[in-house]
Amino acid sequence: MPPTSEVPPRAAARRAPAHRKPRRPSPALARTGFGVTTAALASVVLLAPQAGADPGAARPSVEDVQRKVDSLYREAGTATQKYNAAKERTDEQRAQANGLIDALASSTEDLNHSREELARYAAAQYRDASGGFAGTATMLLADDPQSFFDQKYVLDRLAADQHTKVREFRDQQAATARKRTEAQESLNQLTAAQQDLRTSKTEVQGKLTQARELLTRLTAEEKARLAELERRKEAEARKKAEEEARQKKKAEAEQAAAAEAAKKESATADSATGTDTSTGTNVGAGAGAGADASGGTGASGGTGTASGSYTAKAEKAIAFARAQMGKPYVWGATGPGSYDCSGLTQAAWKSAGIDLPRTTWDQVEAGTRVSVDDAVPGDLVFFYDDISHVGLYIGNGEMIHAPKPGASVRVESIYYMPLYGVVRPA
């Protein structure tokens, strides 16, 4: 038998007749395949980010959001103080540059006037030299040779004076030009630095916007919890302020009682001494002892007190600050419609006749440092290690301040933020 040619099944499938059309998948299969593929892709898209991420960090907690926003507000406050300082330096430098430019213009005008005088003198000299006799002939033909020498001496002195004047003005012009160049360069540097600070501020505001967007994504329950956290923080700060105020009043009462007891004891001793001896000397000694006791009380009573002059000025500053309550915090603002923290304290004390510097960093150096326990109404209270916030103390552990973006001037406990120190500005 002739050998049989067998074709493997797979090869036969590959060599299907040309006239046969390939089978198309049914619509049901196509739909099923598409659905499976779409579902698979969706699974990959949804699950891929979660595969390498920490499930606990997928959604920040309310506490995390609060900490981030507080941190961003602090950064904004620090950037604001930097901006305020740069703006203040820029204004000063601009005034200096304008003064130098004005001086240069005045010097140039004087120099031009001197040059015109010298030009007229040179023209006259040229006419005399070209149209008249030589110097020797003029001297020989002169009616009075001495007058010729006198006139020549005067002309020589005038020429020397004119040259000196021109040289002086040229030196002055060069010096003024150098100063103007230096001032302009300094101004350009400060302007560039100020622009950098504005850019930094914009970046911080961008972070704040992100934080606000994050806040808007919170559920109603989370927002309520965040508000509760804020209320709890304010209540704790207020409670601490109230406790500090009670402790301070208690200490003052004990101090006053001790002083009164000392006075009574001294009076009793004076009376006893006077009865036994009946001498004015002993009575006087007793009176002296009483005065010493009273004086000691006065010295200790000075803790947490201020002079009458300071108290009067502080009352004016506090009255001004109270009148600004409800006005919005705006970075870089100094009133009258809005304020930042140092702008408010500066304006408040200015109403009392005291000029404070613009920034918190300068204001903290513009007075006498006192302890928190010795703070009296009108003192400046500073916060954070970088001294980026300030408020006006009003007593009982409270202050008036411009808090942060999105808030208004208000009364708040000084324990709401980490304290840095207290300064008495006048």
Q: Any idea what the Cα angle at residue 24 is, between residues 23 and 27, rounded to 5°?
A: 145
pLDDT in tens, 331-346: 899 999 999 999 999 9
Q: Is the pLDDT of residue 323 over 70?
A: yes
Sheet holding 398-401, edge to edge: 368-370, 419-424, 380-383, 389-395, 398-401, 410-413
**Residue 191 corresponds to which amino acid?**
T
Q: Per DSSP, what are the bridge partners of residue 395?
A: 398
Q: Is the pLDDT of residue 122 over 60?
A: yes
What gap in Å lies between CA 167 and CA 165, rounded to an integer? Answer: 5
Q: Is the pLDDT of residue 384 over 90?
A: yes
For position 382, what pLDDT does the model report?
Answer: 98
% residues pLDDT > 90 (the chain): 26
**Residue 64 corresponds to which amino acid?**
D
Over the chain, what is the mean pLDDT? Answer: 74
Tokens in use for 81? 């103080």
Tokens in use for 43? 């699974």
Q: Of 330 and 55, which is predicted with more confidence?
A: 330
Q: Are 417 and 260 in contact (CB under 8 A)?
A: no
Provide CB contacts within 8 A for 225, sequence distance 6+.
62
Q: Is the pLDDT of residue 45 over 60?
A: no
Per-residue pLDDT band at 350 (split at 50, 70, 90): very high
| Window from 28-42, 369-383, 404-418 with minimum mean pLDDT | 28-42
pLDDT in tens, 124-143: 656 655 554 455 555 554 55
For tokens 């703070």, name the residue: 375
Provide CB contacts within 8 A for 245, sequence distance 6+.
395, 396, 397
pTM value? 0.64
For position 388, what pLDDT does the model report?
Answer: 94
What gap in Å lies between CA 398 and CA 322, rounded to an integer? Answer: 13
For position 180, what pLDDT does the model report?
Answer: 75
| Window from 4-18, 28-42, 46-60, 145-159 with minimum mean pLDDT | 28-42
- Highest mean predicted confidence (pLDDT) among 122-136, 253-267, 298-312, 379-393: 379-393
- Highest mean predicted confidence (pLDDT) among 190-204, 284-298, 369-383: 369-383
* Sequential DSSP letters for 307-344: -HHHHHHHHHHHHHHHHTTTPBB-TT-BSSS-B-HHHH
For position 213, what pLDDT does the model report?
Answer: 80
For position 210, what pLDDT does the model report?
Answer: 73
Provide CB contacts within 8 A for 175, sequence distance 6+.
none
Q: What's the mean pLDDT in 54-63?
A: 67
Q: Contacts for 108-112 with beta carbons within 8 Å, 24 or more apart?
A: 108/173, 110/169, 111/166, 111/169, 111/170, 111/172, 111/173
Tokens in use for 12? 């036969």
For position 215, what pLDDT does the model report?
Answer: 76
Cis peptide before 336 (omega within 30 of 0): yes
For tokens 């999105």, name the residue: 406
Q: Are 380 and 363 in contact (CB under 8 A)?
A: yes
Q: What's the mean pLDDT in 6-20?
A: 47
What gap in Å lies between CA 313 and CA 166, rounded to an integer? Answer: 56
Question: Per DSSP, which regions of 31-135 are E strands?
Answer: none
Q: What is the largest CA-CA distance in the chain?
A: 167
Instruction: Select from 342, 343, 328 the least CA-distant residue to 410.
Output: 328
For tokens 């000392």, name the residue: 262
User: How far, in Å, are 77, 264, 343 from residue 82 at the CA level?
Assistant: 9, 58, 13
In degrees and rounded to multiples of 5, residue 101 shows phi and psi of -65, -40
Tokens in use for 314? 């502080």
Instruction: Select from 309, 315, 301 the least CA-distant residue to 248.
Output: 301
* Sequential DSSP letters for 167-224: HHHHHHHHHHHHHHHHHHHHHHHHHHHHHHHHHHHHHHHHHHHHHHHHHHTS-HHHHH
For position 408, what pLDDT does the model report?
Answer: 95
For position 42, what pLDDT does the model report?
Answer: 39
In degrees and rounded to multiples of 5, residue 392 shows phi and psi of -105, 115
- Strands 410-413 and 398-401, bridge-based pairing: antiparallel
For position 73, what pLDDT does the model report?
Answer: 82
What gap in Å lies between CA 415 and CA 274, rounded to an integer? Answer: 54
For position 178, what pLDDT does the model report?
Answer: 81
Q: How many CB atoms lie within 10 A of CB 6?
A: 8
Provide CB contacts within 8 A for 244, sequence distance 6+.
397, 415
Per-residue pLDDT band at 31 (split at 50, 70, 90): very low
Q: Is the pLDDT of residue 231 over 70?
A: yes
Task: Give just the sign of the alpha carbon dihedral 24, 28, 33, 38.
Answer: positive
pLDDT in tens, 257-298: 888 888 888 887 777 766 554 444 443 433 333 333 333 333
